[in-house]
Structure 1
Amino acid sequence: MRKIVLMMSVSLDGYFEGPDHDISWHLVDDELHQHMNDLTRRMGGDLCGRVTFELMDGYWPTADTAPDVTPVEAEFAQLWRDLPKYVFSRTLEHVDDPNATIVREVVPEEIRKLKEQPGGDLVVGGAVLATEFLRHGLVDELRIYVHPVLVGRGRRLFPSADTLTSLDLVETHTFRNGVVLLRYEVAAGGGTHP
């Protein structure tokens, strides 16, 4: 059965975005971008909220036509276009992406059925949606990319909660730009609980 992987970038002080939705502090060089391309190539689908989808869809579908596009960016643009996307939104009425499906609610039984389908792992992104998936015990693995910066304020990836989720560290990797990947699996029997 494929897994659901929460994959997000954060600052060292735990923010996924700074004030006014600022993510300019994300340190994505060619090495880290190629790493993301390699992961995306193996993904079975992207589970995202409306805001994350619109951010990505506003740039990547045509990014490979930009005159200053790098080869690694052009590769990601193609991967993004071909990737199945499940956009969780109560308000979005239509998307132009033929590989995108609008989903109205996080229904755990439906997500589990999606996991049982063949294909690569499913990646969940966006803090609000990730929180909802964690609350329902739907996340199997976390890939947290810690950027060497203190943002100071903004939106935290993990909001306060009344639950404990036990994790097992299964991999670390330091990129040349100082970003550190921390990969955790949800501990056996250690799902979310009060």
Structure 2
Amino acid sequence: MGSLIYSMIVSLDGYVADSNGEFASWAQPDEQVLAAINEETTSVSTYLLGRRMYEMMAVWETDPEVIEQSPESTRFAEVWQQAQKVVYSRTLRSVQTSRTQLRSHFDPDEVAQIKAETNGDVTIDGPTLAAEGIRHGLVDRIDVLLCPVTTGGGLRFLPDHRLNLALRHEQKFDNGMVQLRYEVLTG
């Protein structure tokens, strides 16, 4: 049985994108940070993705320039391509990556089954989809890659839902980013 992990790059004030949907100018991990991300994702066997997150992440299989931009990028692409992927979308009609299934809606029972049957960890990527997992009590861990920037608003990382968390890991990087890992406590 794997853990269900919600992991995102987040501004200091708690947003994954600003009010214009922008994140690329401030959320880019350097090689040191990407190496840490790679270390974390080696245990991932399945990615659960919303449509927008899937469209953004598909480049790790479809765009050779992205895959070959650095050694750590190539390593991440290998991990991404080996994993199973489930995409939740009401608008997509097909997917462009291998090992990918398409679902029209989030089914908490199916996600619980994926968690129970996997040999590795499962990530739930994107704040809208992750909010569903959080509300259903399915998320076991929250990983934050905190950026030294504030956006002043935008797409929030966490939903309006109380969570009790225990800090299990922290790591500082030379570029000012900080990686935090929290266990979601029950009760």
Q: Contact conserved, 1:62 with 1:77, CA < 8 A, in 2? A: no
Distance in 2 between residues matched to 1:45 and 1:147, nearest whole Å: 26
Distance in 1 between residues matched to 2:118 and 2:131, nearest whole Å: 25
Q: Deviations over 1:29-58 (max 9, x none)?
A: 00111111222222111111011001111x
The share of aligned pairs that are identical, in percent, is 34
Q: Residues 167 and 88 of structure 1: is their aligned pair in 2 closer, same or farther, counting only changes over 3 Å?
A: same
TM-score in terms of structure 2 length: 0.91
Give the CA deviation at 1:96: 2.4
Q: Contact conserved, 2:143 with 2:181, CA < 8 A, in 1? A: yes
Give the CA deviation at 1:66: 6.2
Aligned to 2:143: 143
Give the CA deviation at 1:67: 9.9
- Structure 2 counterparts to residues 41-120 of structure 1, below 5 A: 41-57=42-58, 59-65=59-65, 69-120=69-120
Distance in 1 between residues matched to 2:168 and 2:66, nearest whole Å: 38
Gaps of at least 5 residues in structure 1 are: none
Q: Contact conserved, 2:61 with 2:67, CA < 8 A, in 1? A: no
Q: Contact conserved, 1:3 with 1:122, CA < 8 A, in 2? A: yes
Q: Residues 87 and 173 of structure 1: is their aligned pair in 2 closer, same or farther, counting only changes over 3 Å?
A: same
Q: Contact conserved, 1:167 with 1:186, CA < 8 A, in 2? A: yes
Corresponding position: 1:164 with 2:174: no
Gaps of at least 5 residues in structure 2 are: none
Letter in structure 2 aligned against 1:37: N
- Structure 2 counterparts to residues 16-31 of structure 1, below 5 A: 16-23=16-23, 24-31=25-32
Give the CA deviation at 1:172: 1.2
What SS does the aligned partner of 2:149 have? coil
Aligned to 2:172: 174
What SS does the aligned partner of 2:109 have? helix
Q: Residues 87 and 64 of structure 1: is their aligned pair in 2 closer, same or farther, counting only changes over 3 Å?
A: same
For the aligned residue pairs, the C-alpha RMSD in angstroms reads 1.8
Q: Residues 41 and 64 of structure 1: is their aligned pair in 2 closer, same or farther, counting only changes over 3 Å?
A: farther
What is the aligned residue count? 186
What SS does the aligned partner of 1:44 have? strand
| More deviation, 102-111/44-53 | 102-111
What SS does the aligned partner of 1:145 have? strand
Distance in 2 between residues matched to 1:77 and 1:67, nearest whole Å: 6
More strand by share: 2
Distance in 1 between residues matched to 2:78 and 2:2, nearest whole Å: 23
